[in-house]
Amino acid sequence: MSRPYVVVISSEKGGVGKTTLATNLAIYLKAVQEDLPVTLCSFDNHFSVDRMFRIRGSRSRGDIRSLFRGVTPEELVETGEFGVQFIPSHGELALIRDELTGNDSLARGLTGSQLGGILIIDTRPDLDIFTRNALFAADRVIVPIKDAPSMENCKHLYDFFDRQELSRAPLRILPCLIDSRIHFDGPFRDPYQLLKAYAINRGYRCMEGFIAKSPKVESLNTNPEGKIYPILTHGRGTEVHLQMSNIARQVLLGLLAKDRRRLDDIAEALQETQIKRAETFRERSATLRPDCLICGQQLISDQGIKPAGFYAESTSGSVRAFIDESCFNELVFRNFYSQSGPVRADDPMIDLFRESAQHTYFSLRRAPHTKNFYQQQIAFYRFDEEGLEISRKIFELKEFDKGLFNRERSRLYELVTSTLCTDGQRLGSDALVIRKVSSDFPDEILYEEAYRHFNDIIKRIAGQFVENE
């Protein structure tokens, strides 16, 4: 088995015969090549697929929502009437739209599939996130149109492919619900010839032939039982029967002519991206200082990273390191909250600080307007999750915490001089940005998406420092 060949039926215009085309195409494909696995699913909420194909008494193992959550289609499919497999629909698919992280969510899930054959996706009459996900994964997109307005809507599909830098080759226009009784004077003899000419004039490629308007076919979807009957068994006497056979053969020829699936290309690109990300992660990790920036204990070894509460990086990128949580808590409470004595782990203020730290970026740098002075004043900033300043505190940076006798060197002083001083004495323009991390998985912040976000915040913070000088 191999990854499926994905056929998407898509149109932003309703009432063009999209679902009738999708459901009957599945049946005709099985009729033309019986041993070909054919699977069908719908993103719409009318349950036409389920009504046509579900065998009475069968039980669902899931529904279409799971396909967007990384579940492979073979774990969801039911074997239905006419040997067509289908994935059950769901009436509230739209409720999971916020779970989709991009137009490739569906494709990433489908790359793990060995379903083989053809997967037909019936989309909603809307270029929403679900339709865009289907288009992104498609080997063939059939766009049914019935008039000039539905032709105009095709532009949005082509624009989507252009924006995603995808080839337009999969897209095919298919005139549907064409009234064969209508004839014109002039170069275009009938509505089919006229629509085809419009499509060619716009640079669109078409399927061969069309699907005619047929009262007999339309009646197959309207009956007291609420059942949907296929054209193959109940519409053999119509011209639509021969037209559907022709469309099915064209889809099969497209399948046979293509050695690689769109999903194969996506899987290869994902693998290359993962390799590149892994290399970037290793390079980023290799620049980490192994010790806690405050107390000097070793946090990074061959065995991995010990639990750490915070990650710190300078705006220039010259310093990258983790900080033990208790060290940073004590540093903040002693120097910025003026608490004397040791900081107890069970102090209620510590819990409050931990909670607020989850949504805060901290930063240390020289105080504004002190370019020409040695490290006499330091500024401690708090920023929100968008990198916007919440507060700042400016104070004298002292080398020792205590008096003349029994003096103890300040850990804050050591932190500042080891990370922000250009020559061991003078504070430069650099700043240290500090962020709370997961104590169990501290290096998560170094992975691509998390680090990209962190780096964006660093740039935003650094920009505010420049503005304030």
Element (H, E) at 142: strand 140-145
Contact in structure between 60 and 90 (CB atoms under 8 Å): no
Q: Are residues 14 and 154 in the same domain?
A: yes
In-domain check, residue 45: yes
Please count the other Cβ atoms lying within 10 Å of the Cβ belonging to residue 440. Answer: 7
Question: Which of 269, 303, 337 lies at the terminal end of a domain, its last residue?
Answer: 269
Q: Are residues 251 and 390 in the same domain?
A: no
- What pLDDT score was predicted for residue 404? 47
Cα Rg of the chain (Å, integer): 32
pLDDT digits (tens, 9 = 90+) for 271-296: 998 888 889 888 888 999 999 999 99
In-domain check, residue 275: no
Q: Are residues 389 and 439 in the same domain?
A: yes
pTM, rounded to two decimals? 0.73
pLDDT digits (tens, 9 = 90+) for 30-89: 999 999 999 999 998 788 899 899 988 777 788 999 999 889 999 999 999 999 999 999
Q: Are residues 245 and 333 in the same domain?
A: no
Element (H, E) at 419: helix 411-419
Please count the other Cβ atoms lying within 10 Å of the Cβ belonging to residue 404. Answer: 6
Question: Which of 269, 303, 331 lies at the terminal end of a domain, its last residue?
Answer: 269
Q: Are residues 63 and 13 in the same domain?
A: yes
Residue 424 tokens read as 């061991």
Q: How confident is the model at residue 337 (pLDDT cuts 50, 70, 90)?
A: confident
In-domain check, residue 278: no
Q: Are residues 238 and 304 in the same domain?
A: no
Q: Are residues 243 and 297 in the same domain?
A: no
CA distance 209 to 192: 8
CATH of the domain at 197: 3.40.50.300
Q: Are residues 136 and 20 in the same domain?
A: yes
Residue 186 tokens read as 């002039």
- What pLDDT score was predicted for residue 343? 63
In-domain check, residue 274: no
pLDDT digits (tens, 9 = 90+) for 10-23: 998 888 989 999 99
Output b/e per residue, 99-132; b: 16+ Cβ within 10 A.
Answer: ebeebbbbbbbbbebebbbbbbbbbbbbbbbbbb
Domain total for the chain?
2
CA distance 64 to 123: 12
Q: How many helices (H) and strands (E) does the chain have?
A: 15, 15
Q: Are residues 194 and 221 in the same domain?
A: yes
Picking from 121, 44, 51, 40, the residue whose alpha carbon sits closest to that of residue 86 is 40
Q: Are residues 159 and 185 in the same domain?
A: yes
In-domain check, residue 102: yes
Give the distance from CA 240 to its chain's centroid: 39
Distances (CA, A) of 301 to 304, 306, 442, 444: 5, 8, 14, 17
Q: Are residues 230 and 365 in the same domain?
A: no
In-domain check, residue 462: yes
Domain span at residue 323? Answer: 287-468
Greatest mean pLDDT among 151-160, 224-233, 345-354, 372-381: 151-160
CA distance 106 to 162: 19
Average pLDDT over residues 348-355: 81
Task: Please list the alpha-helical segments (H only) found in 164-238.
Answer: 191-201, 215-219, 231-234
In-domain check, residue 248: yes
Q: Are residues 42 and 146 in the same domain?
A: yes
Contact in structure between 91 and 47 (CB atoms under 8 Å): yes
- What pLDDT score was predicted for residue 377? 85
Picking from 160, 202, 174, the residue whose alpha carbon sits closest to that of residue 24 is 174
Question: Which of 269, 296, 326 lies at the terminal end of a domain, its last residue?
Answer: 269
| Residue 90, pLDDT above cutoff 50 | yes
pLDDT digits (tens, 9 = 90+) for 395-441: 888 888 765 455 677 888 889 988 988 765 678 889 999 999 987 78
In-domain check, residue 276: no
